[in-house]
Chain A
Amino acid sequence: MLKYLFANEEDIPQGSTALFFAFSSIAWFIIGTGLGSFNAAKLAFPDFYHNVYWLQFGHMRQVHVHAVIFGWIAMAFAASMMYITPTLGNTKLWSEKLGVWNCLLYNVGLCLALALLWSGMTSGREYSDHIWPIDLYIAFVMVVPWALNVWMTVLNRRTQGIYTTNWFFAACMFMTIIVFLIGNLPEFFHLTGLNEAYMTWWFAHNILGLLITPVAAAITYYIIPKITGNPLYSHRVGHLHFWSIVVFYSTPAAHHLMSSPLPEWLKSFASVEGVLILVPAIAYVSNILLTMQGKWSMFIENIEVKFTITGVFLAIPLNMQGGFQQTRAINWYIHGTGWIVAHAHLALLGFSTFAEAAAVYYGIQVLLRRKLYSSSLANFHFWMLLIGFSLYWVSMTIAGLIQGAAKIYEVPYIDVVIAEHPYMIVRWLGGTMVFLGNIVWMFNMYMTATAGDHVPEGRQPAEVAYTR
């Protein structure tokens, strides 16, 4: 990829940016889940590697979070946008050269950002942990060029309308930049106290609600109709999904702080708005599942559809939890417990990751015109991810319920720690399975790129048989 940095725009093959992002995202997924597995081991076995300062839990915990969010989740989004946006506009990516530079500087910036976090240089704000110079780098060097490429490609499209996926892509990039700059205002302008705490969670909420879940959904709006050949069940329901995300889901940030002394009206407002997540959620899930009509065999046979639909199924408990766990009636029980950790992994490692993995699997095959090297390895990856994730989710949910019960009975906290120990071990096993599955995935995609069967011109990868 590096040879294209100084090439003429016309000499860069279409899709270079998407491929660069796609392989980077898999690499970061391995790194991110490896760190996660290591951290989980420390929670299960606290004296594991205890005399090495650099491997302290407190320094590594946030590195795991940012490696998976900025490395895996965001770069897989970038990879998807860089090939889906032009395809849906029947055009080329606005600038492959900008894209290749964007990806290189993204990787460099992320390495630097994580190294600084790892060394303990932090703003002390969850999810906006990066120090402000890095925030500015992320906003203007990593995200703005990416957004520019998406917007300009949409503007230069050669179709009359804009398909649902592209509304989401264009709008979410815009909202991400706004959220990133406004969410980090406390650090730029030294805001303090509850204002700072609330803005921290305003950022954390909106980066999830306006970037991660809608873009993951937008990807499935493309993958399912494209591979099954069925048109999207309803464009109108897509409208409902889009507008209810913008209107409802940009507002409930305060539900992350239900037990803090924020103004009561704000908490009540956030809680009501939070339940309204069910509107976009039901619209979205039913739209995709109805699109599958008559093609359910592909859920078994086709690896991309299998990943995508699993992700959509995981969006059901995700939104059911998300809508109700933040109401006052339930929140006091599970707030700050492992339940929330499980829920966060359901959103990122469940729904989003499965949708994105499908887009990366599909993108690499389409862009290189090569069939997936091995469906067996892909299925192995799928089950490692699904079983690993399920172990994690179930164990942390149970751990959370134990913690919640302990709140009522006011047991000494050490009893909670003892009761959670088996679940901490299961969490570590689950995370390690995801990590190992991803290494297999990287091997499979490397082999696809170098030894996959050629997909004939004018044919879809799905039309070519798996040979391994």
Chain B
Amino acid sequence: MAFREYKIGCMMFGVALSTSMFVTIFLPGLDISAIGSTEEALKKQLTYGWESGFNYYDPFLAGKDKPIKVTLTHDPVTGKKIDKVDAYVFKPGTHFPNGLTHENIMGKKVLALSNSRGHINQASEENGGVFLVDVDAASGTPYVEFATATKGWSVDATLKAADQQFLAGSGKTMFIREGCWWCHTLLPEETQDWQTFGRPPVTGDFNGESPTTFGSDRKAPDLLHVGSRNSSREWMTMHFFNPRLVQPHSIMPRYNYLWGKTDAKGNVIDRQKWDREFMAYNNGETAYPPEVPEPAPDSDARKLIDFVLNLK
């Protein structure tokens, strides 16, 4: 072989590269995987479901195959008043997040509690079901509860009893597809973002989430806790339709196309007319801006707004 005289060099090259990969992939992989899910991670997984990027079940990133997050103040079975609780509804066939199906992602303690007390081993993707996230008061360990087994909450009854439904799982798909994460990070930085953008995430907060899309190029406010700073659905709706309505200096693109053809009342949305009226308002010819249409319940806009409002 003509490489004979380069034998030592090739061997050194191989050793150098494998050592490098051992230190930079294998060791960090072991270390990161050893950390169990936090309560935040369990909530995120149950909200976002399986992968939010391109995958077999949603190749065009339409927001399919995602759970629905609901808030309950009444028990779906008995109808009695209960403390306000978030439940995660997986319709039959919806794929579970990796944390529910892979032991190492949840972490040993979390998994043990989720099985013994939460009965998640009885859940299956074919039948779907309702999940809750609880924290063991004594040890502080979070765990997942399969409420369909423990409380008899069925998918249909829970959706019916829900005060509010958040399509935040589908919304995360929109967040990725529309490239929101090119400007808005989901990662308050450890060193200096506490005051402005809230608590930075900890290592276990990401377990089971894919992709994490915490972004690298911040051209706009961090959104990880935006729902705590601003919980107004009206503001969000106006802001997505045309950010200049609520923030004249914003450079965010308009996301009015996510409304689709018709609004919540079934009226056709005429964007050209809306633009003309907005320009008239902008030029001071009219006192009020045109009304922003209410997004239809199954529109992409509604999903994205749900996702953002759910970022507490």
A194 at the interface (CB under 8 A from B): yes
Partner of B219, one of A43, A126, A259: A43
Complex contacts, B214 vs chain A, CB 8 Å: 197, 260
| A198→B26 CA distance, assembly (Å) | 12
A42 at the interface (CB under 8 A from B): yes
A266 at the interface (CB under 8 A from B): yes
Within the complex, the shortest CB–CB distance from A401 to chain B, in Å, comes to 14
Given A121-B61, A266-B31: A178 touches B17 (CB 8 Å cut-off): yes
Chain B residue, CB-CB nearest to A269: B23
22-52 of chain B: CB within 8 A of chain A: 23-25, 27-29, 31-33, 41, 51-52
Within the complex, the shortest CB–CB distance from A131 to chain B, in Å, comes to 4
- B271–A413 touching, CB < 8 Å: no
177-223 of chain B: CB within 8 A of chain A: 177-182, 185, 187, 189-193, 195-196, 200-203, 205-221
Given A171-B13, A192-B207, A197-B214: A122 touches B61 (CB 8 Å cut-off): yes
A-B contact pairs, 25 of them (CB 8 A): A46-B253, A50-B254, A59-B178, A120-B60, A122-B54, A122-B177, A123-B54, A131-B59, A171-B13, A182-B25, A190-B98, A192-B98, A192-B209, A192-B210, A200-B211, A246-B20, A256-B216, A261-B200, A261-B202, A270-B24, A336-B185, A336-B218, A340-B217, A413-B196, A417-B219
A458 at the interface (CB under 8 A from B): no
- B32–A337 touching, CB < 8 Å: no
Chain A residue, CB-CB nearest to B271: A51
A 242-286 binary contact with B (CB < 8 Å = 1; else 0)? 010011001101101001111101100110000000000000000
Given A51-B271, A414-B250: A335 touches B189 (CB 8 Å cut-off): yes
- A50–B253 touching, CB < 8 Å: yes
Within the complex, the shortest CB–CB distance from A202 to chain B, in Å, comes to 6
Chain A residue, CB-CB nearest to B187: A260
159-215 of chain A: CB within 8 A of chain B: 160-162, 167, 171, 175, 178, 182, 186-187, 190-200, 202
Partner of A202, one of B1, B24, B254: B24
B244 at the interface (CB under 8 A from A): yes
Within the complex, the shortest CB–CB distance from A179 to chain B, in Å, comes to 10
Complex contacts, B191 vs chain A, CB 8 Å: 259, 332
B171 at the interface (CB under 8 A from A): no
Given A247-B20, A418-B249: A266 touches B2 (CB 8 Å cut-off): no
Complex contacts, B275 vs chain A, CB 8 Å: 51
B288 at the interface (CB under 8 A from A): no
A422 at the interface (CB under 8 A from B): no
| A236→B153 CA distance, assembly (Å) | 73
80-109 of chain B: CB within 8 A of chain A: 97-99, 105
Q: For chains A and B in complex, what number of residue pairs have CB atoms within 8 angstroms?
A: 218
B 49-84 binary contact with A (CB < 8 Å = 1; else 0)? 001111000011100000000000000000000000
Complex contacts, B2 vs chain A, CB 8 Å: 154-157
Complex contacts, A122 vs chain B, CB 8 Å: 53-54, 61, 176-177
Partner of A251, one of B24, B99, B251: B24
Complex contacts, A200 vs chain B, CB 8 Å: 211
Partner of B23, one of A154, A251, A336: A251
B121 at the interface (CB under 8 A from A): no
- A58–B218 touching, CB < 8 Å: no
Chain B residue, CB-CB nearest to A399: B219
- B212–A47 touching, CB < 8 Å: no
Within the complex, the shortest CB–CB distance from A310 to chain B, in Å, comes to 26
Complex contacts, A113 vs chain B, CB 8 Å: none
Chain B residue, CB-CB nearest to A193: B206
Partner of A193, one of B16, B20, B32, B60: B32
| A407→B193 CA distance, assembly (Å) | 7
- A195–B29 touching, CB < 8 Å: yes
1-23 of chain B: CB within 8 A of chain A: 1-3, 5-6, 9, 12-13, 16-17, 20-21, 23
Other than A51-B271, A246-B17, give 5 A-B pairs with Cβ distance below 8 A.
Answer: A62-B182, A126-B216, A182-B25, A195-B29, A254-B28
- B217–A341 touching, CB < 8 Å: yes
326-349 of chain A: CB within 8 A of chain B: 332, 335-338, 340-341
A 382-403 binary contact with B (CB < 8 Å = 1; else 0)? 0000000000000000000001
| A337→B206 CA distance, assembly (Å) | 23
Given A46-B253, A262-B32, A336-B217: A124 touches B176 (CB 8 Å cut-off): yes
B162 at the interface (CB under 8 A from A): no
- B178–A58 touching, CB < 8 Å: yes
| A58→B221 CA distance, assembly (Å) | 16
The tally of residues in A whose CB lies under 8 Å from a CB in B reads: 84
- B25–A124 touching, CB < 8 Å: no
Given A122-B61, A259-B191, A335-B189: A196 touches B253 (CB 8 Å cut-off): no
| A393→B213 CA distance, assembly (Å) | 26
Name the residue in B3, B32, B207 with the highest tally of chain A Cβ atoms < 10 Å from its Cβ.
B32
Partner of A59, one of B179, B201, B206, B243: B179
A132 at the interface (CB under 8 A from B): yes
Complex contacts, A126 vs chain B, CB 8 Å: 215-216
Complex contacts, B13 vs chain A, CB 8 Å: 171, 246
Complex contacts, A296 vs chain B, CB 8 Å: none
Partner of B201, one of A121, A261, A270, A341: A261
- B192–A407 touching, CB < 8 Å: yes
| A195→B2 CA distance, assembly (Å) | 40
A2 at the interface (CB under 8 A from B): no
- A155–B29 touching, CB < 8 Å: no
B311 at the interface (CB under 8 A from A): no
Within the complex, the shortest CB–CB distance from B270 to chain A, in Å, comes to 11
- B28–A266 touching, CB < 8 Å: yes
Complex contacts, B193 vs chain A, CB 8 Å: 407
Chain A residue, CB-CB nearest to B62: A120
Partner of A417, one of B32, B177, B249: B249
Given A51-B275, A62-B179, A254-B24: A123 touches B254 (CB 8 Å cut-off): no
| A178→B20 CA distance, assembly (Å) | 12
Complex contacts, B189 vs chain A, CB 8 Å: 259, 332, 335-336, 407
Given A58-B253, A198-B28, A335-B189: A410 touches B247 (CB 8 Å cut-off): no
A460 at the interface (CB under 8 A from B): no
A408 at the interface (CB under 8 A from B): yes
Within the complex, the shortest CB–CB distance from A384 to chain B, in Å, comes to 26
225-263 of chain B: CB within 8 A of chain A: 243-244, 247, 249-254, 256-257
